A and B are shown apart, each in its own frame.
Chain A
């Protein structure tokens, strides 16, 4: 049952062959026995079981919320989840509990999905291995598969088998590993330069990066705002379409989402690719591309050719500048986005308190790893007044050229581009960490990054196993907002290649009822739909929103007591509930300082008004009494 597709398990839930609680329990048990993968940072057993119970009740009443009701899912730990730790795998946010849900998380929960936990990643999603997070590297489930064990030969006798495990790729490695090891039916990742597709390829799962602006980024802790998109990781293409349908659409809280309505779609079973034109960009035959993958790529092209599709070689000449261009744009936005982590409002705060500035510096030095600090440093360098034109503006221009390459190719009649997703199969961890993060990212993102630069939708489809018994995937890149066509082609391809199922000892123990997803596919032409990107930001109306304050009676009391117990603060500032910064002189009362910090943490709960769509609250009176609970 755990190995079923999302749609199959949904059908099983509906028919009562399995209950949401049973399903949830099985997944939780499997998470426990695959703990060594380090796929999850936080497992939310208690809330998951509660959600499953609620789902069960809905099924009992015959009123499930839809296809996702009762489906166990996992979410990358850079999406905000209310009441559940959101760490970004960084010391900076260790212990940070967000007061709100990311829009995508909220959508999943609203449709009855059961959130199992938060998955591991590279710190702040900066990396391509899922090895650079504060909670340690993620291990690729395929390292423990029958297929890999049979084919890989231990390098030396001195090293034990333990050191042979391979990386998941990244940065959404935790999500990819979670889906790949059957601990959840789908997972959210994020994709800025390939962070969803890369681990999907290494872990043998489907990884979809939708068009920029199709899915809300509200609540996704940003890496590069102009390239980030929430990513979808599933077992099969059909499931990715299901997830896309439940997540896509305009969000008033994200001005960069398109305003057109999104119509969820089901992929046809009968797919005809004979009228399609498949582009093979020659630049993707990049230095370092393994001969294995090159051969697979060309075989895939033949598949299309044999099915009657037109396969043409195309050129995306500026793609080779994408790495340097990405480096400038990414680090610049990182430098900016990371400026908020100063230890004041939330997150880690250093004990150094000689001055505000030294507290900032120490907090950021202690809170961020070398990778993050390095990117902040170079980003700030590129944004300096004397460098701005030379680097940032130039990089923006190059980005335009890269995007235009795609426009030209698609205008020439090509429907879909077919490329490899990665240069090779997953590297063993010991090998991978020989090089620094920057070099690795530059190598590993090379085939995926351009799609982010251009905002295009792209998908990894697991294709075959390498000689070492590890998954290899190919990438399809589509036109903007043409997800249906992209996924239709991907589904056809998926059917042709019959990628093998991972054989894991742990899963066999937990899942007796083998339930392979059906492969009876039929052929039909993919439909086209046009969609316009929004040109202007959407306006919020000038109506105050109160939002839902987080109501915890205990917290409220604490705040009140805190405010009342320290009248001296009231004297000097008008209230006790203020964020505090140490000024230039040496602080004598250490305890007061820490105490204040505690009050600040509480502030983030009930005191802060939740941001919500302003027009929805039109006409509601504003209460000026912030401490009153509902």
Chain B
């Protein structure tokens, strides 16, 4: 029997990173008190009208250009009707007929057999990008049998991206979404944090035999991380193959991914097929974009969007950055991916600081205030390319850095959820505070372990200086040599067997003693100093 060919297409909703909503002036913010960010328009009060947010249009144009799309110079808005409690107007304003961008493509790389050294590049076509409104949120309270509606999200700008069914497995889809996520974040057009719903991915999955038309597809929803995306798709492919193999049929249905059970289940359908009764949005004239050629001379600058102008100002996309890392700094291609794709640049900061310090120490260099401030400023921009470049050019530190990067990679998953809500505040970490921290490290006032804790505090953006945090949490190193000597002596006195072993020539046991001293001082002793003291005492 011929093998099954899985086909995967994606529908992605990316929330536009903007101060205010797509058609109203209310603020966009995650996790604000319910219904605190609702304008009259968002609540669909009669008589209110939409006013298009320029920033949202620019974000969509940027994204379209970055994804090699054709930008439609004239696009239209439509109403899509359905009744739902979190859709106050009874319709969503979207771009059904003529979207703002069409016919693009996205290149992404994925490794074969999980080997980082074997990367292949693939391409998925982007059918279109359309601007539309987000809905509010319904919260169902089953015990009281009621539904609560929060309209904070209602009217927030979304870009809906439709990826053609050019993928064939969960891993491909995951890699494509990861690359898209990175592009959106680089552009700043969306924060694209899946856990906060800024990036929502629905997958269309079907299987068919070679040479035959595509099979009946199912739509998998309710996927809230990239890892689950791969799992959900692979499960759905397998399910369909098994179903068909058993002589069953696939229904054109919407299924939800259950992350706990790791499987997809049919969703309760909203009373059969919906007819959205699309019609043109009469309150918004066609959206006209210009390029350098068509730009009218006498138009109000504020009222015109110039595609060429946006194009010229696009930042380096991840693929270009990776190339530069490889070419200019001799970094391995797979490492360039690690740096850019799987890492939140801010996570790298701690490691850079530590590695930088130890490097400086090794070479008996001192941290000059000015260079620290410079490095810290670069770090603040959270640009791995700049970070790597700067640190390398200052110190030749590339390998150390990448080592650090790889070490924390394992912890990444856990950190994403917890830290993401704070991530926006990370940018507020002052370069001067970072310099303070470096100085504390350099003067041996704190250990490198403590430095990481201090850095974490800085990220919270509570405005505490490193010194204050150190004092508050008692992180400073023991400066009293006599006290430390006494502790060392106490450890030696209590560990006769170990002392004997060391004296017999087994130097490794010394580390155990160092560890015990560290434990007694709660990590507030300098291990180098402790080692010196212990050696001195043992040789006495």
Contact = CB atoms under 8 A, between A and B. Distances in A.
A612 B57 contact: no
B54 interface: yes
A218 B48 contact: yes
B133 to A, nearest CB: 14
A612 B79 CA distance: 23
A536 B288 contact: yes
A140 B237 CA distance: 72
B35 A219 contact: no
B177 interface: no
B278 A383 contact: yes
Which residue among B81, B142, B144, B278 has the maximum number of chain A CB atoms within 10 Å of its CB? Answer: B144
A308 interface: no
A582 B146 contact: yes
A478 to B, nearest CB: 22
A567 to B, nearest CB: 14
Interface in B24-55: 24-27, 29, 32-41, 43-55
A314 to B, nearest CB: 29
A225 B39 contact: no
Interface stretch (A5-13, A54-62, A171-179, A583-591): A583-591
B399 interface: no
Nearest to B34: A575
Interface in A291-341: 332-333, 335-336, 338-341
Interface in A324-380: 332-333, 335-336, 338-342, 344-346, 356-357, 360, 380
B40 A575 contact: no
Contacts of B283: 225, 254-256
Interface stretch (B83-91, B486-494, B509-517): B83-91
Contacts of A514: none
Interface in A490-541: 534-541
A328 B90 CA distance: 20
Interface string A608-629: 1111111101000010101000
Contacts of A581: 85, 138, 146-147, 149
Given A383-B278, A609-B38, A626-B36, A256 B285 contact: yes
A540 B46 contact: no
A211 to B, nearest CB: 15
A573 interface: yes
A536 B37 contact: no
B46 A255 contact: no
A578 to B, nearest CB: 4
Contact of A611 (B40, B138, B151): B40
Interface stretch (A35-43, A95-103, A416-424, A459-467): A95-103
A534 B25 contact: no
Contacts of B49: 217-218, 253-256
Contacts of A383: 81, 277-279
B282 A98 contact: no
A383 B81 CA distance: 10
A604 interface: yes
A360 B91 CA distance: 15
The winner among A388, A575, A615 for most chain B CB atoms within 10 A is: A575
A99 B41 CA distance: 12
Contact of A624 (B32, B88, B285, B287): B32
A594 to B, nearest CB: 12
Given A582-B145, A585-B145, A542 B20 contact: yes
A573 B284 CA distance: 35
A573 B34 contact: yes
Chain A: number of interface residues, binned into ranges: 35 or more
Contact of A345 (B44, B144, B148, B284): B44
A70 B35 CA distance: 39
Contacts of A536: 285-288, 303
B141 interface: yes
Nearest to A333: B282
Mostly, the B contact residues are loop
Nearest to A335: B277
Contacts of B147: 356, 580-583
Contacts of B53: 539-542, 614
B141 to A, nearest CB: 5
A226 interface: yes
Given A573-B148, A617-B25, A624-B32, A339 B89 contact: yes
Given A255-B284, A357-B83, A536-B286, A579 B35 contact: yes
A545 B26 contact: yes
Contact of B275 (A79, A384, A604, A615): A384
A611 B19 contact: no
B25 A609 contact: yes
A574 B148 CA distance: 10
A575 B35 contact: yes
A100 B56 CA distance: 26
B90 A614 contact: no
Nearest to B41: A611
Q: Could you say which of B44, B50, B147 has the most chain A C-beta atoms within 10 Å of its C-beta?
A: B147
Contact of B38 (A385, A607, A622): A607
B39 A608 contact: yes
B302 interface: yes
Given A339-B89, A578-B149, A579-B151, A539 B57 contact: yes
A343 to B, nearest CB: 10
Contacts of A455: none
The binding surface of chain A is classed by DSSP as loop
A93 interface: yes
B202 interface: no
Contacts of B145: 582-588
Most buried by A among B52, B91, B142, B145: B145
Contacts of A603: 35
A342 B279 contact: no
Interface string A92-124: 010000111010000000000000000000000
A181 interface: no
Interface in B187-231: none
B19 A543 contact: yes
A157 to B, nearest CB: 48
Nearest to B79: A336
B57 to A, nearest CB: 7
Contact of B277 (A259, A380, A547): A380
A222 interface: yes
B278 A537 contact: no
A577 B34 contact: yes
Given A385-B275, A542-B56, A252 B51 contact: yes
A80 interface: yes
A322 to B, nearest CB: 18
Contacts of A615: 302
Given A608-B40, A611-B41, A626-B33, A583 B146 contact: yes
B139 A572 contact: yes
A544 B20 contact: yes
B519 to A, nearest CB: 42
B35 A578 contact: yes
Contacts of A100: 40, 45
B503 interface: no
B32 A542 contact: no
Given A569-B148, A585-B145, A604-B43, A540 B25 contact: yes
Given A587-B146, A617-B25, 19 more contacts: A93-B46, A219-B47, A335-B81, A339-B91, A341-B46, A356-B147, A357-B83, A385-B277, A388-B278, A392-B279, A541-B55, A542-B18, A573-B141, A573-B148, A575-B34, A575-B150, A581-B146, A582-B146, A611-B41
28 contacts: A255-B51, A255-B284, A256-B282, A256-B283, A336-B81, A340-B89, A346-B43, A383-B279, A535-B285, A537-B287, A539-B54, A539-B303, A540-B54, A543-B20, A545-B25, A569-B148, A574-B34, A574-B150, A578-B139, A579-B148, A582-B146, A583-B145, A588-B145, A607-B38, A609-B40, A611-B24, A611-B25, A611-B39
Top-10 shortest CB links A-B: A339-B90, A545-B25, A542-B55, A539-B54, A383-B277, A225-B282, A536-B288, A585-B145, A578-B148, A575-B34
